[in-house]
Amino acid sequence: MIRRGYFNYLLTLEPNFDKFLVQANNIYWHSEFQPEIMYKLYTFFLDIGLRYSEIPTNESKTFSFSFDDNYMSWKGLSNFDHKLTFYLNTCQYNVNFDETAYVRSIGHVSDYKFLPLKDLCDLGSRHNIGFHGTKHHKHSRTDRSILVNDFETQELFFRKIGICNVVNQYAINYGMRRFLNPYFVKYLRQKNINIVLAEPGMLKYTNSQFINRYNWVDSISFENNLKLMTFNKHFYLPITPYRL
Ligand SMILES: [Zn+2]
């Protein structure tokens, strides 16, 4: 449990602390993770005066939690009272699914567990489902027509299986601005779909046209994650020896 005392402690190290964390803090996971870290983060952000946003946003003084690809661990989060956002791929529900190619494309090597279709429907009735493409294409290397078709196939699929909480956000595969396909970006804009990126250290761009997220790394400390998240990298350096 993080108490207000921790915030006061941060203020003694950096009197302007409260000015740094007024940005939109969108955190995401795309592999197995420890739910208690998420609860700890939730308490920490609330304690320093941020508001939980049920979908990733650029609004200042907010934070949100989301997941990518074909996330399996959401069942451990049943005690969390708010909506989370899952940007999912859906090629695994096709009859001609190439499992090896897909698992490679999301950077896993073996033992990848897929979300069964009935669990996807259950997930979509309780949480938000965002677009992440039917397949996990690298956009910069893919033709616009393939990306459009891939998107429309996913849109149709969500409609067909009756997911009610589909949000108008598309998390770009691999998350990087440099992988954007300008023609596909234009297409998404015309459809009023917000583009979501995942670039560490970019959360400062709250007025940017893209929503930025930070990939929380469970293998490094809480403070080091905060340090990587923030735009002011020097600010967090003095507090790294401190353990929560
Ligand atoms: Zn992904």
Ligand 1: distance of its center to the CA of 162 in Å? 23
Q: Is pLDDT at 1 greater than 50 in this prediction?
A: no
Residue-wise pLDDT for 211-221, tens only, equals 999 888 888 87
Is residue 244 situated within a structural domain?
A: no
Residue in the block written with tokens 């995401």: 28
| pLDDT at 2 (0 to 100) | 46
- When pLDDT is cut at 50, 70 and 90, the band that residue 244 belongs to is very low
Ligand 1: distance of its center to the CA of 212 in Å? 14
CA 8 – CA 14 distance, rounded (Å): 10
| pLDDT at 80 (0 to 100) | 85
Output the domain CATH number for residue 232: 3.20.20.370
Beta bridge partners of 131: 88, 170
Ligand 1: distance of its center to the CA of 15 in Å? 38
Q: Does residue 168 contact residue 184 with C-beta atoms inside 8 Å?
A: no
Is residue 24 situated within a structural domain?
A: yes
Residue-wise pLDDT for 140-177, tens only, equals 989 999 999 999 999 999 999 999 899 999 999 998 88
Helical spans, DSSP H, in 25-181: 35-47, 99-105, 117-126, 144-160
Ligand 1: distance of its center to the CA of 235 in Å? 30
SS3 state at 155 = helix
Sequence-distant (6+) residues with CB within 8 A of 101 are none
CA 192 – CA 200 distance, rounded (Å): 25
Residue 166's Cβ-count burial label (10 Å; 0-12, 13-18, 19+) is: middle
Q: Is pLDDT at 10 greater than 70 in this prediction?
A: no
Q: Is pLDDT at 186 greater than 70 in this prediction?
A: yes
| pLDDT at 6 (0 to 100) | 65
Is residue 189 situated within a structural domain?
A: yes
Is residue 155 situated within a structural domain?
A: yes
Is residue 225 situated within a structural domain?
A: yes
Q: Is pLDDT at 209 greater than 80 in this prediction?
A: yes
Give the helix/strand (H/E) hosting 203.
none
Ligand 1: distance of its center to the CA of 49 in Å? 30
Q: Which residue has the higher pLDDT, 230 or 219?
A: 219
Ligand 1: distance of its center to the CA of 48 in Å? 30
| pLDDT at 240 (0 to 100) | 39
Is residue 192 situated within a structural domain?
A: yes
Ligand 1: distance of its center to the CA of 4 in Å? 35
Q: Does residue 130 contact residue 167 with C-beta atoms inside 8 Å?
A: yes
Residue type, 18: D
Q: How many domains does the chain have?
A: 1
Query: Taking the model in full, what pTM does it have?
Result: 0.86
Ligand 1: distance of its center to the CA of 12 in Å? 39
Is residue 133 situated within a structural domain?
A: yes
Q: Does residue 7 contact residue 47 with C-beta atoms inside 8 Å?
A: yes
Is residue 118 situated within a structural domain?
A: yes
Q: Does residue 166 contact residue 129 with C-beta atoms inside 8 Å?
A: yes
Residue-wise pLDDT for 37-66, tens only, equals 888 889 888 887 889 999 999 888 899 999
Residue-wise pLDDT for 83-136, tens only, equals 999 999 999 999 899 988 998 888 876 677 788 899 899 889 999 999 999 999
| pLDDT at 109 (0 to 100) | 67
Structure tokens at 239: 């507090």
Closest CA to 200 of 169, 236, 170: 236
| pLDDT at 74 (0 to 100) | 65
Q: Which residue has the higher pLDDT, 206 or 99?
A: 99
Sequence-distant (6+) residues with CB within 8 A of 77 are 35, 38, 84
Range of the domain at 12: 4-239
